[in-house]
Amino acid sequence: MSAAWACRRRAVLRGLVAGALAPALPGAALAERFAGAYDPQAEAIGDGLWLVRGADEPISFANGGAIANCAILASDDGAILFDPGASRGEGHALDALAKRLTGKAVARVYISHLHPDHALGAAAFAPAMVHALPATRAGLEREGEALADGMYRLLADWMKGTDLVLPRPDVRAGPLVFGGRSIELVALDGHTSGDLALIDHATGTLLAGDLVFHDRAPATPHADLAAWRAALDRLEALPHRLLVPGHGPPDASGRHHAIAQTRDWLGWLEETLRDCVKRGLDMGEAGEVPIPARFSGMKAARYELQRSVSHFYPAMEASLLPRL
């Protein structure tokens, strides 16, 4: 899609979508709605480290797409923001919050992976300060506009001004000191083709991105389940006191509860879907199977199960149903 078309589309969306088209369509859901203001709340989880919790929900107009966890780290050279949120508005709100907390504006942004609730907030920052793994950059080049389309459709006014800002593809795995803060970048994949985790040495905190979900069901639109499980093994082996998942509450159990829960869900999911194919269920029915009681505390479980059916089921059928 050309940039000109993208701009025109957004102008149309901003001006017309709800107003001019809605009268032809039924339902209050399509009436004109204006976004509220993002009001991110920070929770201090270590010395110079704050967590901004996302809503443990699907992306919706009600939450403005602010569903991903973000972390703010103080440094002498400005704040480090690990995931800038879903939109330009959310990115700006996180920038302002970081300045209030640390006394300095955001100087560096890491995008953990390409998903729009984590990546599109980069629109609020100068492209030169936004960094990601090469695979994340490549994924956003390929799919960023389509992902933005989806977000504009769901979030409308919340997305205003959010143009795709591509991160610099210059993140390499290894230790790094930024503004006196010693961190380690960990390059993994499995949730997507590029999943960045970050260890903050001063606080012993592992920012796991969406490789780890906690009490919120994992999302799988770009997942490679075998690679994801291998990435979880790597994360488990990294010493840390506190783990911040991409979605859900932080895990201070010291027993890798969130990692184990993510692994458990992914294993159950794959086994269950294969079993559904072998038992002759169609996609819709596979999305209706009972979810075990051990996942009853998991938010958005049915929703993510049904999304995962869409992601995996046709390919499983193509290999498991007998050829006639």
Partner 1 sequence: MVRRIAAGLAGKAALAALCVPALAIVGPAACPAAAQDPQALDRAQVPADPLGSPMWEHHAAGLLTSGRILFDPRVAVRLPLLAENQHVFPVTVDARALEANGRPKVRRIVLLADLNPIPVAVDFTLHRAAPFLATRIKLDQRTPVRALVQTEDGTWHVGGQWIDAAGGGCSAPPVSRARGDWADHLGEARGAMWSAAEGPQLDGPVPPGGMARLRLAFRHPMDTGLVENIPPYFIESLKLRDAGGAVLAEMAIAASVAEDPAFTVIVPATGAVRFEAVDTGGLVFAGTVQP
Where along the sequence are the contacts to partner 1 (CB under 8 A)? 24-27, 29, 58, 149-150, 153, 221, 279-285, 287-288, 302-303, 306-307, 309-311, 314, 317-318, 321-324
Minimum CB distance to partner 1, residue 149 (Å): 7
56 contacts 247 by C-beta, under 8 angstroms? yes
Rounded Cα distance, 143 and 151, in Å: 12
In the bound state with partner 1, the residue whose beta carbon lies nearer, of 184 and 317, is 317
Q: Concatenated DSSP letters for 204-241?
A: TEEEEEEEEESSBPPP-TT--HHHHHHHHHHHHHS--S
Minimum CB distance to partner 1, residue 33 (Å): 15
Minimum CB distance to partner 1, residue 57 (Å): 12
In the bound state with partner 1, the residue whose beta carbon lies nearer, of 166 and 281, is 281
Rounded Cα distance, 241 and 205, in Å: 6
Q: Give the bridge partners for 110, in sequence order.
A: 82, 131
Rounded Cα distance, 60 and 28, in Å: 15
In the bound state with partner 1, the residue whose beta carbon lies nearer, of 58 and 169, is 58
Q: Residue length, the chain?
A: 324
Structure token digits, residue 18: 């709800």
Reported as type and span, the H/E element at residue 310 is helix 301-320
Rounded Cα distance, 45 and 135, in Å: 30
Minimum CB distance to partner 1, residue 246 (Å): 19
In the bound state with partner 1, the residue whose beta carbon lies nearer, of 179 and 221, is 221
Minimum CB distance to partner 1, residue 150 (Å): 6
Q: Report how far apart the first and last C-alpha atoms of the chain are (Å, whole number).
A: 41
Whose structure tokens read 């302002």?
96
In the bound state with partner 1, the residue whose beta carbon lies nearer, of 221 and 249, is 221
200 contacts 181 by C-beta, under 8 angstroms? yes
In the bound state with partner 1, the residue whose beta carbon lies nearer, of 105 and 154, is 154
Minimum CB distance to partner 1, residue 212 (Å): 22
